[in-house]
Amino acid sequence: MPVNNTMLQELQIRKLEHLFRIIDFDHNGLLQKSDFQSIADNVAIFTGIIEDDDHDNLLREEGNMIWGFIQAYFQQPNLQNIDSKQWIEFMENFFFGADDEVLDQNITFIVNRLQSVFDKNKDQLISRLEFMSIFVSFRVEVRFANQCFKAMDLNGDGFISTDELVHAAMDFFKSNDPDALGNKLFGELGSSHFQSVKVQY
């Protein structure tokens, strides 16, 4: 496995744990390939993507790709699941990479995918309704959607532009500032909506 070249700060770890709970679709305290597939299916349903069309297939393929990255990182081609500590390790060493350039590329990929899927009218802006679709698709507590939208709409024009979305994503993954507005990209941290079952070892 790669040597840990980054040192995540406490707040960054909290945000990655929050993301873990979002992706843990069945709330069993573990991430599995099926969780990524379920997220892809949910996104397709709530964004009106037709089953088995090219966009639907791409979402599924990307879910498989992410799980493949996890299996490759842990050098276990038959790996069935990972816990939150393994998730943090994977993200710290794989997603964050060895330098800022790798991290920025990974963050840009996430922004591009969010825009591609949720910007329904392709105007390069995320409306309040489109932003709500992100929360519903990922099953983030919707009651936080409005305040999170306002936090990321930096110029107050009622939309989240590409630059504002990039800014939010950079904040979410890179910032250790508890007041960074992008911390709310995936809802309020520690939202009670995600209560995973405690796994017994």
The mean pLDDT of 91-115, rounded to a whole number, is: 88
The mean pLDDT of 68-91, rounded to a whole number, is: 96
CATH number of the domain enclosing 64: 1.10.238.10
Last residue of a domain, one of 74, 95, 116: 95
Do 67 and 142 share a domain, yes or no?
no
Domain-located, residue 3? no
Do 116 and 140 share a domain, yes or no?
yes
Do 49 and 117 share a domain, yes or no?
no
Domain-located, residue 128? yes
How far CA 116 is from CA of 58, 111, 119, in Å, comes to 11, 8, 6
Do 156 and 117 share a domain, yes or no?
yes
pTM score, whole prediction: 0.85
77 pLDDT band (50/70/90 cuts)? very high
Burial-class residue 197 by CB neighbours within 10 Å (0-12, 13-18, 19+): exposed
6 pLDDT band (50/70/90 cuts)? low
Do 74 and 137 share a domain, yes or no?
no
Give the model's pLDDT for residue 41.
Answer: 86
Give the model's pLDDT for residue 193.
Answer: 54
Question: Looking at the 3D structure of the chain, how many domains does it have?
Answer: 2
The mean pLDDT of 47-75, rounded to a whole number, is: 79
Average pLDDT in the chain: 86
Q: How far apart, in whole angstroms, are the C-alpha atoms of residue 62 and residue 90?
A: 17
Domain-located, residue 148? yes
191 pLDDT band (50/70/90 cuts)? low
Do 119 and 155 share a domain, yes or no?
yes
Domain-located, residue 191? no
The mean pLDDT of 17-31, rounded to a whole number, is: 94
Q: Residue 46 is part of which domain span?
A: 9-95
Domain-located, residue 73? yes
Instruction: Tell me the per-residue pLDDT of 143-185, one tens digit each, with 9 for 90 and over.
Output: 889 999 999 999 999 999 999 999 999 999 999 999 999 999 9
Torsion of CA 139, 71, 98, 15, to 10 degrees: 20
